[in-house]
Every structure is written in structure tokens, then in C-alpha cells.
Structure 1
Amino acid sequence: MAYVPGVALLAALVVGCSAGSDSNANGADSKAGSPTVTPAPPGRYETLPAPCRAVPRGMLKDLLPGAAELPGDQQEKVFRGSASVTYDTDRKVGCGWKSDAPNATRSLSIDFERVVSYDPAVSDDDRADTVYAKKEKAAGLSSSSTPGPDTEKNTGTPGEKDKGKGADKDKAEGAAGNATASADGSADPSSSSSPSGEASADADDDTAEETGGGGNEGEDGSTDPEDVLPSRVLDNLGDAAFLHDLPTRAGSTAQHRTVSVVFRTSNVVVTVRYAEQPALITQVPDSGELQEKAQALARKLAETLSE
């Protein structure tokens, strides 16, 4: 009869030891006084769209004039686009298109970058905002800035030309062109190095004067701000966006212009580049048209990402 209470006592000791072991294990997981770190929320997007299928065929026909008139095989090749070379398609993808028409060459490229923060204290969205802010700063813009009277000169838009300033005008154009080229921060695949020197600037200025400067200059040589808007921060596009209008000279015999629209939505940063190079030196790219179409495409891509 004395054996049974001994068994009960042994069982009680085993239960007590087990409880003590669990208590010690729990204590090891959460040490007294250690701060609790709550991981930052992940970004909205875990994948990226197929870039070469991201632009509807109808928009490509409008963005690449002349492509729709090509023979079937050539037309399909143009509209198919060329995927960008990337080593991590989960993080960055892109695609480019190019069409050669009798009067001009148009090129288009889009890039998607999915930003991931490896710091548990920093969210993917915050990290993406930092990436976007660097691009905005490289373009010489900031979200709090508004276009001022010198914006056109600093961004290299057609309004920088002033027929009445002679040699000072040429120097200002050269400085503005160099500053804008370095601010873009990324090279367009269709652009080439531009020549420098006063001789080429004078030649292009003479051409602009003979052709009326593309219809943007008034009688006093100034540009109507309603005709061509400068590089600027954009509203109602993703979480943040800006437009960079970059005129360059692709060679001694042709003008070249690239409009870039960059926007961020959650943890994805999207870049649209749309460029035109006229075939004749008497033709000047229509900045207003390039800006309008680049923005329309950017808004379409933002809608696609939100679906």
C-alpha cells in the first residue's frame, strides 16, 4: 500500500520538471528587458509585369509612327520589342522599341524596378521612395520645388534661347545642355554623344532662327510657357512622379529630344523614356507631343500595376 503514494510522488516530480523546462525555454526566446522589434510591412508588389507586353498594341502604333505601315514580319518585330538584359527578373525588367519613319526615328523604353528592403526596420515602400528621390534629385528637381523663371534655362528647354543676347546666349546654352545631360543620370539607348563647341551651337541657332524655332518662340525670341512646359514634378501619378525633358544634339546634322517620366507606386519604380530624332536638320522635335504621349503611357502603366 505504501508503493502507490510513491508512484504518485514520482509522477508529480516529473510534471514539475517538465513545467520548469518549458518555462526556461520560453524565457530563452524572450529575455527580460530586450526590446521587441516589429518588422516593417512588405511592399505591395511581389512580382513585375512582362515589360514587352505591358504596352497595348494601340498605344505602340501611336507612339511609333510608321511601324503600322511596315510589312507583316517587320511590323511584328517592331511591336514585339526587345527585352532589356537583366540578371534578376524578379527585381528589374525592361523593354525597348524603335521605329524608323521617313521623317523621324522614334524610340521608346520602359523599366520596372521592384525595390526590396533587407532592413526589418525599413519598409519596402520607404526604401523605394529613397531610390525614387535619388532619380528626382539627379534630374535637378525636388517634390517641393515649383518651376520658376529660370527653370527652362536650367532644364535645357527651347525657352533658353534668346535671339538678342549674342555670345552670352551661346555660353548659357552650352552650360544648360551640360548640366541637363549630367542630371539625367541614365543614357537613352537610342542617343549618341553630342558635339560641343560654339561652332555647332551657332549652326544650330542659325537653323532654329531660319525655321522659326519650331514654332515655340514669339516675336521677341521668348518661349510661351503654355507651348512647352519645363521639366517638373507631376501630380496624380502613382505615389510620386516627375518629368524630365532633355534636348540634346545627336549629331551635327540632326536634333534629338528625350522625355523621361519616372514614377513610384508602393515598392515599384517605373521609368518611361520616349525620344525623337527628326531626319532633317530643319525639323525640331515636338516637345509638347513627346511629353503628352510619355505621360499617357506612364499613367497607363500605373493603372496596369494597380489592377
Structure 2
Amino acid sequence: MQRRAYVPGVAALLAALTVGVTGLTGCSAGSGPDGTTTDSKAGGPADTAGRPGKYRTLLEPCGSVQRSTLKDLLPGAAQLPEEQRERVYRGTAAVTYDTDRRAGCSWKTDGPDASHQLTLDFERVVSYDPAVSDDDRAQQVYAEKEAAAGLPAAQAAAPGEDKAQQAPPATGPTTGAPTPKAKTTPTPTPSGSPATPEGLEPRVLADLGDAAFLDDVLTRAGSTAQSRTVSVVFRTSNVIVTIRYGEQPARVTDVPDSKELQEKAQGLARNLAEKFEE
């Protein structure tokens, strides 16, 4: 049987040609070490100026509050017949054109002692400026809301300092006609009300989302009972959440408890912040 001659030079030439073709093919596409292709165009992953936000959709507001929380926030619902009670707990969805950009829900119940109302508003901010990220644009929107709330500025006097000590000592003669008293005009509080207890004034909140503030407003319309509304607004990435929780007692002489309303509104805000992080 005749054997085929083996030519080493021909085998080496074929191997070299195969390597060359493979090398040319690999250079035509930017492949990563794991075999995936990468986008080599300018302004790729390194360009974060107009980076999209973390959230592309929103939670469904009416289903985002637990039943146990609603029972606590809306105590008057417990006395209602089952069908009406379930209707209250379901809430009423806000009418919006795009629920991935804006969504809301509201609940209201009237009890023998007071009526309560809760509203939620979720807003997903999108920047249409290629030089501004969604998060930065959301921070701008949040800052506008905080400024509109008109949170009171810090007191000029140090904590615990007696305001009487700030007045200049009396000067001039001690006899003769009395010195007329200067006419003073009370400075209106930009937000909140004089009935808001000390330490519970409208303020910036720490450890809630990326930024947060609380507002507390007490109002009275004519001879009706006083109504207090506590608002908590916080931002998490490119989403802004607004919570409004209000109470109006049945008796005109009653004043809603600011501390209780604030604690409940902040508790709900923390729960929602955790849901967005899930």
C-alpha cells in the first residue's frame, strides 16, 4: 500500500493562514473577555451626564399601603358596614395620562370623633436635557417643592436663650416723660402654624430617601373645626413621593394632635421608601 507523502511546509502555511483570518475577524468587533460585544461609539458607558434614573416604572399607589396601615390611619372605617369599609380601603385612583410617569391614590373616612384623609402622589421625573441626568432633574423638582413649602428659617437666638436678654439695656434719663414703646408687627410664619408644638415645626427630615421634608399646617374655615394636614415629601433617585395626611375633629373645640399625625405620616413614608428599594 502506497503512503501519501507528508510535506511539513504546506501544513505550516495552512496554519498561518488560519490564524491570520481569525485575527482579522476578531479585530472587526470589540468583544469583551466574556465573549460579549461592547459598544465602542463615543459617549458610551463612560458618559454619565444624561444618565437615566433608577426607576422606569412606578408602584401602584392604591395597592402600596398595607391594610393594617390603612386601619391605623383611617380609624373611622372600622365602624362602617363591610361593603363600605372595603370601598374605603380600596381607595380612589387619581386620573393620570401615563401611570408610569405620574400616579396617585386617595382615601377618606368620616368617624364619630373625626374625619381623616390620606393622599399619595408618585412622580417619576425624566430629564429631556442630554446634559442633565434624571436624578439631577428630580433633585431640581424636589428643591422647588421644598422652597414652595416655605420651611421656617433657623431662629437667630441660641437654643434656650431668653429673648429678653437680647434686648439692649435701657438708656437715657430715668425721669421725665415715659419713652413711647416701639410699635411691633408680628412676623407671619411661612409654613405651619402657631399651634404647632415646639420641636414639631415644619423641617427637613434626615434618613428618608435621598432628600425629604415635612410640613404641618393647621387651618380653620369659618366656624368649622380646625383641620390639620401633615405633608411628607421625599425623593428616591428619580421618583418624588408626596404624602398628605389630614384630620378634622368633629368638635370645634378639638385640635388635631400634631405629634400623632406626623408620626403616622413619617411611618408610611418609610414603608414606601423601602418598597421602592425592593
What TM-score do the two structures reach when normalised by structure 1? 0.63
CA RMSD of aligned residues (A): 2.7
Written as runs of structure 1 = structure 2, the 5 A alignment for 1:107-122 is: 107-122=117-132
Written as runs of structure 1 = structure 2, the 5 A alignment for 1:125-274 is: 125-141=135-151, 147-148=154-155, 172=186, 175-176=188-189, 179-180=190-191, 225-226=198-199, 229-274=200-245
Cα drift, residue 148 of structure 1: 2.6
Report the equivalent of 1:303.
274
Is 1:101 aligned to 2:101, yes or no? no
- C-alpha distance in 1 between matches for 2:202 and 2:118: 18
Most deviating of 68-77 and 257-266: 68-77
- C-alpha distance in 1 between matches for 2:82 and 2:186: 48
Written as runs of structure 1 = structure 2, the 5 A alignment for 1:276-287 is: 276-287=247-258
Amino acid at match of 2:122: F
- C-alpha distance in 2 between matches for 1:304 and 1:59: 14
| CA deviations over 1:130-170 (Å, ceiling 9, x no partner) | 000000011113xxx874369xxxxxxxxxxxxxxxxx99x
Cα drift, residue 234 of structure 1: 0.1
Unaligned runs of 5+ in 2: 1-40, 158-182
Rg larger for:
2
What TM-score do the two structures reach when normalised by structure 2? 0.69
Is 1:71 aligned to 2:113, yes or no? no
Retained in 1: the 8 A contact 2:76–2:115?
Answer: no
Retained in 2: the 8 A contact 1:147–1:232?
Answer: no
Amino acid at match of 1:96: S
| CA deviations over 1:83-116 (Å, ceiling 9, x no partner) | 1111121100000000100111100001000001
Retained in 1: the 8 A contact 2:191–2:215?
Answer: no
- C-alpha distance in 2 between matches for 1:276 and 1:147: 28
Retained in 2: the 8 A contact 1:146–1:232?
Answer: no
Retained in 1: the 8 A contact 2:77–2:111?
Answer: yes
> Structure 2 vs 1, CA of residues 96 and 36 (structure 1 numbering), >3 Å: closer, same or farther?
closer
- C-alpha distance in 1 between matches for 2:102 and 2:186: 38
Look up the SS of the partner of 1:47 in the other structure: coil
Look up the SS of the partner of 1:254 in the other structure: coil
Retained in 2: the 8 A contact 1:43–1:266?
Answer: yes
- C-alpha distance in 1 between matches for 2:202 and 2:58: 28
Look up the SS of the partner of 2:221 in the other structure: strand
Look up the SS of the partner of 1:242 in the other structure: strand
Runs of 4+ in 1 over 6 A off after TM superposition: none
Amino acid at match of 1:246: V
Amino acid at match of 2:77: A
Report the equivalent of 2:100.
90
Look up the SS of the partner of 1:251 in the other structure: coil
Cα drift, residue 250 of structure 1: 3.3
Retained in 2: the 8 A contact 1:106–1:275?
Answer: yes
- C-alpha distance in 1 between matches for 2:138 and 2:80: 40
Matched pairs, number: 211
When you count helix as a share of all residues, which structure comes out higher?
1
Report the equivalent of 1:187.
none
- C-alpha distance in 1 between matches for 2:43 and 2:90: 51
Unaligned runs of 5+ in 1: 1-29, 151-167, 182-204, 206-212, 217-222
- C-alpha distance in 1 between matches for 2:125 and 2:266: 22
Cα drift, residue 52 of structure 1: 0.3
